[in-house]
Amino acid sequence: MTWTIDGCISMQNLDIVRGGNRIAMLDCENEALCDDDIIANARLIAAAPDLLQALHDVDAYLAPQGDEEDAYNYIRAIIKGAISKAQGA
Protein backbone atom coordinates (compact mmCIF):
# COMPACT_ATOMS: atom_id res chain seq x y z
CA MET A 1 0.00 0.00 0.00
CA THR A 2 1.38 3.39 -0.97
CA TRP A 3 1.91 6.41 1.23
CA THR A 4 0.03 9.58 0.29
CA ILE A 5 -0.18 13.18 1.43
CA ASP A 6 -3.36 14.25 3.18
CA GLY A 7 -4.45 17.64 4.47
CA CYS A 8 -3.83 21.21 3.50
CA ILE A 9 -0.79 23.35 4.28
CA SER A 10 -2.92 26.49 4.50
CA MET A 11 -4.86 24.85 7.35
CA GLN A 12 -1.60 23.78 9.05
CA ASN A 13 -2.54 20.13 8.58
CA LEU A 14 -0.26 18.01 6.37
CA ASP A 15 0.06 14.29 7.06
CA ILE A 16 1.59 11.29 5.37
CA VAL A 17 -0.94 8.45 5.45
CA ARG A 18 -1.12 4.80 4.50
CA GLY A 19 -4.50 3.20 4.26
CA GLY A 20 -6.09 5.89 6.42
CA ASN A 21 -3.41 5.61 9.15
CA ARG A 22 -1.07 8.51 9.84
CA ILE A 23 2.59 7.68 9.19
CA ALA A 24 3.96 11.17 9.78
CA MET A 25 2.72 14.66 10.59
CA LEU A 26 4.59 17.67 9.23
CA ASP A 27 5.17 20.86 11.17
CA CYS A 28 3.44 23.42 8.96
CA GLU A 29 4.07 26.21 11.46
CA ASN A 30 7.86 25.99 11.14
CA GLU A 31 8.84 29.53 10.24
CA ALA A 32 12.30 28.39 9.14
CA LEU A 33 10.75 26.60 6.14
CA CYS A 34 8.67 28.04 3.34
CA ASP A 35 5.51 26.26 2.20
CA ASP A 36 7.31 24.91 -0.88
CA ASP A 37 9.95 23.25 1.33
CA ILE A 38 7.30 21.69 3.56
CA ILE A 39 5.45 20.32 0.53
CA ALA A 40 8.73 19.02 -0.96
CA ASN A 41 9.51 17.26 2.33
CA ALA A 42 6.05 15.71 2.39
CA ARG A 43 6.46 14.45 -1.18
CA LEU A 44 9.85 12.95 -0.36
CA ILE A 45 8.52 11.20 2.74
CA ALA A 46 5.50 9.88 0.81
CA ALA A 47 7.82 8.55 -1.91
CA ALA A 48 10.17 6.82 0.54
CA PRO A 49 8.71 3.29 0.22
CA ASP A 50 8.76 3.52 -3.57
CA LEU A 51 12.32 4.84 -3.58
CA LEU A 52 13.44 2.03 -1.29
CA GLN A 53 11.79 -0.57 -3.53
CA ALA A 54 13.49 0.96 -6.57
CA LEU A 55 16.86 0.66 -4.86
CA HIS A 56 16.16 -2.99 -4.01
CA ASP A 57 15.18 -3.65 -7.63
CA VAL A 58 18.30 -1.96 -9.05
CA ASP A 59 20.51 -3.77 -6.55
CA ALA A 60 19.02 -7.12 -7.56
CA TYR A 61 19.50 -6.26 -11.23
CA LEU A 62 23.15 -5.36 -10.67
CA ALA A 63 23.84 -8.44 -8.50
CA PRO A 64 27.03 -10.27 -9.41
CA GLN A 65 26.75 -12.57 -12.39
CA GLY A 66 30.34 -13.65 -12.87
CA ASP A 67 32.97 -10.96 -13.34
CA GLU A 68 31.95 -7.60 -11.84
CA GLU A 69 33.12 -4.31 -13.24
CA ASP A 70 34.36 -1.54 -10.95
CA ALA A 71 31.46 0.72 -11.97
CA TYR A 72 28.93 -1.89 -10.86
CA ASN A 73 30.74 -2.34 -7.54
CA TYR A 74 30.72 1.41 -6.97
CA ILE A 75 27.02 1.79 -7.87
CA ARG A 76 26.03 -1.22 -5.76
CA ALA A 77 27.95 0.16 -2.76
CA ILE A 78 26.04 3.46 -3.01
CA ILE A 79 22.72 1.64 -3.39
CA LYS A 80 23.42 -0.67 -0.44
CA GLY A 81 24.35 2.35 1.68
CA ALA A 82 21.08 4.09 0.81
CA ILE A 83 19.09 0.92 1.52
CA SER A 84 20.79 0.50 4.88
CA LYS A 85 20.12 4.11 5.83
CA ALA A 86 16.47 3.87 4.76
CA GLN A 87 16.02 0.69 6.80
CA GLY A 88 17.75 2.17 9.86
CA ALA A 89 20.73 -0.15 9.72
Looking at residue 11, what is its pLDDT? Answer: 76
**pLDDT surpassing 90 at residue 17:** yes
Phi, psi dihedrals of residue 74, rounded to the nearest 5°:
-65, -50
Give the single-character DSSP code of 10.
G
The CA-based angle 8-45-80, given to 5 degrees, is 175
pLDDT tens readout for residues 36-70: 888 888 888 988 998 888 888 888 877 766 566 77
- CA–CA dist 24, 29 (Å, integer): 15
For residue 63, CA distances in Å to 9, 33, 50, 72 come to 42, 40, 20, 9
pTM here? 0.69
